[in-house]
Structures are given as C-alpha cells and as structure tokens.
C-alpha cells in the first residue's frame, strides 16, 4: 500500500469516516504518476505518529478525493535516537546518505562544514535544502516510518560539537585512529546504559562523519576536547558515505533492542 506524508497546512483535518480532497501535488502523484484506481487504498501520515488508511473515491483532472477508512498508530521510532553530523559531500553522495540514513533510522541530519569540505557546498540555497527535505520525505514514505527525520541547517563542525546533547554518546570514526573500535565503544555504552537506565528512556547517539577528504588531526583533537569518542572502523579506508551508513547500521544493531 502506498504511503504519503501530508503536512497540516496541506490537509488540516483528517477524520475517519469522512472524505478529504488531496492537495494538488499529491493528487498529481496519485493520479498521474502511480495511476491509483478508484477504491485502491493508500496511507496518509502527518508526522504525529498517526496513520490514516484511505481509499480513492474520485480521480479526475479537477482533483483526487479519498475516503478515510481508519486511524491507527504508525510504526514507532527506534529506542536509540541518532543524530548524524555529516561532513558536506558532493550532491549525489550526500543525497544517498539522506535516503539510506532515513531507511536505517537516523532521527536528525546535520550537514556539517569541515576543513576539507569542497568549497562552495556551504552555500546551498533554498532549492537545494528543499530537494534534501523531499529526499528524506520520500524515503520515509517508502520505508514505513511514521515520523520524517529532521534536516537542520548547514553549520560548522565547532557548532555541532558545541550542540552535543547532554548525556549523549558522541562518536567520530576516523581513519587515523587505531585504538578503540566502534564495536568496543558500543558494547561499553550498551552495558552502561542497560545498568543505569531504569526508566528505559531513549539513548541519543551523535555520529560525526568527515567529508571526502576526511577529518584533519586538529578536528579530531577538537572533537576529543568536547567528549567525542574517536573510533576505528577497521583496517580499510572507507568512503564517507560507506562510513556513515556502516556506523548508523552498527549503532542500530547494538542499541536498538535496549528500548
């Protein structure tokens, strides 16, 4: 069943048992792109955690109307909240991380300006940010999540380090680190969190990933000063997008079950 995010401003009220007219952009997707037929079902979700099962009752050039059949609780978010501070990359690679990171469960994306980020990427205008938001939204629709991850504004690394939430586990994979591994760090965090979190509150993990050229020694040292654990992902040198998704997947695997 196809799923569609719909903002409160697009459709203020979705009431079971009543009909609703889809906004033009969504109507175009339903009618002209997916060719959903009369009586075919779809799901609307509004980022509140609630989903609405509907079926198409009218589909013409004048608009698309649906009947709201039922309201239900959407898929809950993971017990671990992941904030991915991703060093700015070329568009295609950065967009790949947004899409796949959403599928894996990232809660917040923070585009981060690092020393070796390619010049000019920090000047992404409104159209670029809208494109990034659309990629995240479409990935959310596809993977079944009921909440769309947040995309924050581009900011320098020092600001992302300053903004680390209190009590969060902050980790930075770095190719020049040869001591503590990501696995060891997550195992330690798992043990400490299991022992100390009697209320089973979500744990927050902040992941810092560098740009194409990697992070500099000065940036790694600055991260350490802010309490970030510098870890190794193994002997191989990974592309930024590989390192990001590998780290997110491992965090989810090790910590998601603790909720």
Q: Work out whether strand 203-209 and strand 19-21 pair parallel, antiparallel, or are unpaired.
A: unpaired
2-73 CATH pick, 2.60.260.20, 1.10.1370.30, 2.40.240.20, 3.40.50.300: 2.40.240.20
d(CA 238, CA 241): 8
Q: What is the second-level CATH architecture of the domain 80-258?
A: 3-Layer(aba) Sandwich (3.40)
φ/ψ of 63, rounded to 5, equals: 155, 170
Could you report the per-residue pLDDT of 123-169, keeping only the tens digit for each? 667 788 899 999 999 999 999 999 999 999 999 999 999 999 998 99
Picking from 206, 219, 214, 220, the residue whose alpha carbon sits closest to that of residue 239 is 214
* Residue ranges of the chain that CATH labels 2.40.240.20: 2-73
Q: How do residues 233-246 score in pLDDT, each as one tens digit?
A: 998 989 999 999 99
Q: Give residue 36's pLDDT.
A: 93
| Cα–Cα distance for residue pair 179/183, rounded to 1 Å | 12
Q: How much is the pTM?
A: 0.90
Cα distance between residue 242 and residue 259, in whole Å: 27
Better pLDDT: 10 or 178: 178
Q: Is the pLDDT of residue 112 over 60?
A: yes
Q: Tokens for 229?
A: 């654990």
Residue 237 burial (10 A CB sphere; 0-12, 13-18, 19+): exposed
Interval 161-211: pLDDT, tens: 999 999 899 999 999 988 889 999 999 888 887 776 545 567 899 999 999
Contact 233, 110 (CB under 8 A): no
The separation between CA 29 and the C-alpha centre of its own chain, rounded to angstroms, equals 23
């Amino acid at each position: 069943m196809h799923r569609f995010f719909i903002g409160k401003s697009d459709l203020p009220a979705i009431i079971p048992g009543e009909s609703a007219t889809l906004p033009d952009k969504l109507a175009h997707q339903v009618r002209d792109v997916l060719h959903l037929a009369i009586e075919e079902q779809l799901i609307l979700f509004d980022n509140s955690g609630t989903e609405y099962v509907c079926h198409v009752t009218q589909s013409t050039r004048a608009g698309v109307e649906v009947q709201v059949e039922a309201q239900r609780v959407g898929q809950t978010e993971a017990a671990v909240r992941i904030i991915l501070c991703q060093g700015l990359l070329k568009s295609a690679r950065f967009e790949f991380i947004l899409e796949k990171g959403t599928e894996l469960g990232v809660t917040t994306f923070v585009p981060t300006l690092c020393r070796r980020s390619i010049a000019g990427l920090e000047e992404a205008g409104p159209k670029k940010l809208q494109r990034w938001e659309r990629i995240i939204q479409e990935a959310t629709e596809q993977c079944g999540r009921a909440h769309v991850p947040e995309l924050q504004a581009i900011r320098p690394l020092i600001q992302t380090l300053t903004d680390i939430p209190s009590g969060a586990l902050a980790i930075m994979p770095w190719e020049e680190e040869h001591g503590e591994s990501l696995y060891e760090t997550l195992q330690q965090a798992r043990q400490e969190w299991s022992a100390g979190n009697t209320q089973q509150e979500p744990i927050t993990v902040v992941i810092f990933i560098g740009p194409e050229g990697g992070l500099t020694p000065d940036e790694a040292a600055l991260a350490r000063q802010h309490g970030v654990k510098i870890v190794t992902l193994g002997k191989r040198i990974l592309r930024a997008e590989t390192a990001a998704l590998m780290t997110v997947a491992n965090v989810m695997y090790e910590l998601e079950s603790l909720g």
